[in-house]
Amino acid sequence: MNKDDMILISVDDHIVEPPDMFENHLPKKYLDDAPRLVHNPDGSDTWQFRDVVIPNVALNAVAGRPKEEYGLEPQGLDEIRPGCYKVDERIKDMNAGGILGSICFPSFPGFAGRLFATEDPEFSLALLQAYNDWHVEEWCGEYPARFIPMCLPVIWDAEACAKEVRRNAKRGVHALTFTENPAAMGYPSFHDDYWDPLWKALVDTDTVMNVHIGSSGRLAITAPDAPMDVMITLQPMNIVQAAADLLWSKPIKKYPDLKIALSEGGTGWIPYFLERADRTYEMHSTWTGQDFGKKKPSEVFRDHFLTCFISDPVGVALRHDIGIDNICWEADYPHSDSMWPNAPEELDAVLKANNVADDDINKMTFENAMRWYHWDPFTHITREQATVGALRKAAGDHDVSIRALSKKDKTGANFADFAASAKELTGNKD
């Protein structure tokens, strides 16, 4: 397949929220107490909510910037591409990168919306629903052929979370972002019956739970003074723990139609993980009490789990060991792992090196995403308009040149610096 003929849907991208996002959706009585974007004397912009200050970390919005500007220092909106926080500009960037569709994870509230958990349940729910309404009606609603809507959970209340899933499913939302480790955030674990209302709501509405790496603020720790390279290397593999936790959990057996996406987790590790899970079942299930009926854990994994990759040459080579119907592509715009605007070229090189057939390409690049998330862009545009080549032609002369935007000096960072930022982003103070 020629790269210009590919259709690309990314199941993992990110939003840097605009400062006015609450204005049209939060009841007026709460507006003065809502999170607000504050411009600081050092030029950075930070979201502030009560005693929590969330920096706009540079590493999370470096699309179109030289690698020398990657880092953890706080930055202002004027130091990042407008496509990070303006939906019209995002569409231009998507066109220029040849990307048809996108799922966009939140930034300042944390991937599981923990920031909105306050001592006032009514206020908390109002904040969360305002975010979801902004995301669905404004960000995704402006371009229904381009965004797969996804909502934040009511992470602090399983019953309320189930109601929010159902509320959003009625308007076509079939994706929920969630934490990969609720116990690490002070909530019951996946093994606790507490979450039963949520599992049932997800199944009843055909909604996929997306567990994103780092969403609990707990990443693999080696040493507090370890170089950042350690964390970055291990980051995708943190999802292995969530995969094991959920694969062996009661909900997987109780709800055969439950769907879970391992967001930004990569794929190269999965064949060994499945091999190890099958071996564990064979050797230990008689005394641990695990029972998958007539299936192996690897088969159960393929019934329930969606995985994603950016390029992953090893994962692509072993795609059939993973399950070709369980793999989606991601762009990770505007994070530092993204290859925007040249993602089609990088992906094409990996696909060609592994002699991937057109049918397999189509499944991984768009068909699986459409099926899992019950989303059909072709009710709005034609397939001919959706290809890499057609979208880039529509982008015209949109500027995608690499440009330095940072106004600050670079500083070194280690794992401790990142851990501090992660705690702010998740609301995890432990």
Average pLDDT, the chain: 92
Render each residue's pLDDT in the chain as its tens digit; 430 residues: 999 999 999 999 999 999 999 999 999 999 999 999 999 999 999 999 999 999 887 678 888 888 888 887 778 999 999 999 999 999 999 999 999 999 999 999 999 999 999 999 999 999 999 999 999 999 999 999 999 999 999 999 999 999 999 999 999 999 999 999 999 999 999 999 999 999 999 999 999 999 998 888 766 667 888 888 888 888 887 899 999 999 999 999 999 999 999 999 999 999 999 999 999 999 999 999 999 999 999 999 999 999 999 999 999 999 999 999 999 999 999 999 999 999 999 999 999 999 999 999 999 999 999 999 999 999 999 999 999 999 999 999 999 998 888 876 655 554 445 455 545 444 444 4
Name the pTM for this structure: 0.94
CB of 147 within 8 A of CB of 101? yes
Tell me the β-bridge partners of 348: none
Tell me the β-bridge partners of 116: none
Pairing status of strand 52-55 against strand 45-49: antiparallel
In the chain, % helix, strand, coil (3-state, to 5) comes to 45, 10, 40
Query: H-helix or E-strand containing 412?
Result: none
Place of tokens 């496509």: 83
> Which residues are CB-contacts of 298 (< 8 A; sequence separation ≥ 6)?
274, 275, 277, 278
Provide the pLDDT for residue 407.
Answer: 75
Query: H-helix or E-strand containing 13?
Result: strand 9-14
The yes or no reply on domain 3-426 and CATH 3.20.20.140 is: yes
> Which residues are CB-contacts of 389 (< 8 A; sequence separation ≥ 6)?
2, 4, 5, 98
At 81, is the secondary structure helix, strand, or coil? coil
Provide the pLDDT for residue 128.
Answer: 98
Name the nearest CA neighbour of 241 among 314, 190, 312.
190
Provide the pLDDT for residue 409.
Answer: 60
Question: Where do the structural domains in the chain lie, given as residue ranges?
Answer: 3-426
Residue 303 neighbours by CB distance under 10 Å? 15
Q: Any idea of the CA torsion for 380, 383, 389, 394, to the nearest 10 degrees?
A: -20
Place of tokens 């930034």: 107
Give me the phi and psi of 12, to 5 degrees please. Answer: -155, 100
- Using a 10 angstrom Cβ sphere, with 0-12 exposed, 13-18 middle and 19 or more buried, the burial of residue 402 is exposed
Provide the pLDDT for residue 214.
Answer: 84
> Could you give the CA distance from residue 427 to residue 331 in angstroms, rounded to a whole number?
26
Provide the pLDDT for residue 418.
Answer: 46
